Amino acid sequence: MENLLQQLLNGITWGSIYALVALGYTMVYGVLKLINFAHGEVYMVGAMTGYYAAHALGLTQAPSLGALVLVLLISMAACALLGALIERVAYRPLRAAGRLAPLITAIGVSLLLQNAGQLVFGADPKFFPALLRSEEVIRAGGVAVSNIQLTVLVTALVLMAGLQYVVRRTRFGRAMRAVSYDAPAAALMGVPVDRVILGTFVLGSMLAAAAGILVGLSNPKIDPLMGLMPGLKAFVAAVLGGIGSVPGAMVGGLLLGVIETFVTAYLSSTYRDAIAFVILVVILLLRPTGLFGAPQTEKV
C-alpha cells in the first residue's frame, strides 16, 4: 500500500511537470490552432538558462529557497523572450498561410533549437546545481516525501493556480479565451489579437521554463536534447486533456504522469516512453477531442 502511495506521489510529481509544459501547448493551440513543436525546446532552454544563471551568480555553493526563486525568475524571463521571439519571427508571418506551413515551420524551429543548443551549450550533459539541499521531509504512512518533491509540487501548483487566475479573472485571460473561441470575431470586438497571441506564447514559455528548472532540481542531468521526449509527452498530455482546454492540460499532465509511473513500476520499465504514445493513439481513436474538449463538426 505504501508503495502504491509512493508511486502515486511520484506520478503526480512528474505529472505536474508535464502539466506545466502541456499548458503551453494547449494555450497556443487554443489561440492559433497550431501545434508548437518548438515548445519542448523552450523547456530545455529554461533548464539551461537556470544552469548558467546559477553558475554566473555563484549560487551553486549556496543552496537556498531564495536561490531557487531567483534562478526561476531569470529563467522564466529568458524563455518569455524566446517564446515571444519565436512567435514574432516564425509564426506570425504565417498567420494566414493555412495549417500546414506553420506546422512545418514549428518542426523547423524545434530542430533549429535542438541543434543550435548542441552548438551553444555543447552536446554533453551538464549537471544542474543543487539549489536545494535534498533531504527527506515527511514520512507519513510509509511514504517518503523529499523537500525537492514538495518544492516541485508546490511550485507547479502555485504556477497553475496563477495561470487559472489569469485565464479566468483578468482581462487578458478573457481576451485569450475570446481569441480561442473565434479570433475574427474577437478582432472585430476590439481585442488586440496580435498582442494576445504574443502574450499567450510568453505565458506558456514561462511555465515551460519553470518546468525545466524543476526538472533540473529533481533530475539534475540536463542536455540540449532533453526537450524532445518530455515535449512530445507533454503534448500527448495536452491532447489527452483536450487540446485547447486549460484545465484539460492540467488533468492530462497529471494523468499521464501517474499512468506512466504506475506502468513503469508495475509492468515494464523498458516501454516507458511508448506509454505516452499508446495513450495518444488510444485517445485519438476513441475521443480525439480529449477529456475536456468539445467535438467539432464541419459545415458542408
Partner 1 sequence: MRARSLLWLGVAIAFLVFLDVAAPRLLNPYYVTILSRIGIAVIAAVSLQLVNGFTGQFSIGHAGFMAIGAYASAALSVFAGAAVLAAAAQVVPLPVARLAYFPVALVFGGLVAAVAGIVVAVPALRLRGDYLAIATLGAGEIIRIAILNIDAVGGARGFSLASPEYPSIDLRYESLAGVFGVALIAIAAISRLVYAGGGLAFRAVREDETAAESIGIATTRVKVEAFLIASFFAGVAGALFAHSEGYIHTNTFGFVRSFELVAFVVLGGLGSLSGAILAAATLTALPEVLRGLGEWRMVLYSLLLIATMLLRPQGLLGQRELWPISRLKGGGG
Residues 207-246 close enough to bind partner 1 by CB under 8 A:
232, 235-236, 239
> Among candidates 36, 140, 168, which has minimal Cα distance to 92?
36
Instruction: Give the residue, chosen from 2, 136, 182, 273, that forms a contact with partner 1 under the rule CB under 8 A.
Output: 273
Q: Are 218 and 13 in contact (CB under 8 A)?
A: yes
Please, what is the minimum distance in Å from the beta carbon of residue 89 to partner 1? Answer: 9
Cβ proximity to partner 1, 112 vs 143, nearer residue: 112
Backbone angles phi, psi at 128, to 5 degrees: -65, 130
Q: Does 285 bind partner 1 (CB under 8 A)?
A: yes
Greatest C-alpha distance within the chain: 64
**Number of residues in contact with partner 1 under rule CB under 8 A:** 41
The span from the CA of 82 to the CA of 87, in Å, is 9
Please, what is the minimum distance in Å from the beta carbon of residue 1 to partner 1? Answer: 30
Distance from first CA to last CA of the chain, Å, rounded? 55
Site string for partner 1, 74-113 (x = CB under 8 A): ----------------x--xx--x-xxxxxxx-xxx-xx-
Cβ proximity to partner 1, 5 vs 120, nearer residue: 120
- Which DSSP letter does residue 62 get? S
Residues 21-60 close enough to bind partner 1 by CB under 8 A:
33, 35
Cell triple for residue 171? 482581462
Locus of grid cell 507519513: 140
Sign of CA dihedral 292, 44, 156, 30: negative
Residues 179-198 close enough to bind partner 1 by CB under 8 A:
none
Site of interaction with partner 1 (CB under 8 A): 33, 35, 90, 93-94, 97, 99-105, 107-109, 111-112, 114-116, 118-119, 123, 232, 235-236, 239, 270-271, 273-274, 277-278, 280-281, 284-285, 288, 298, 300
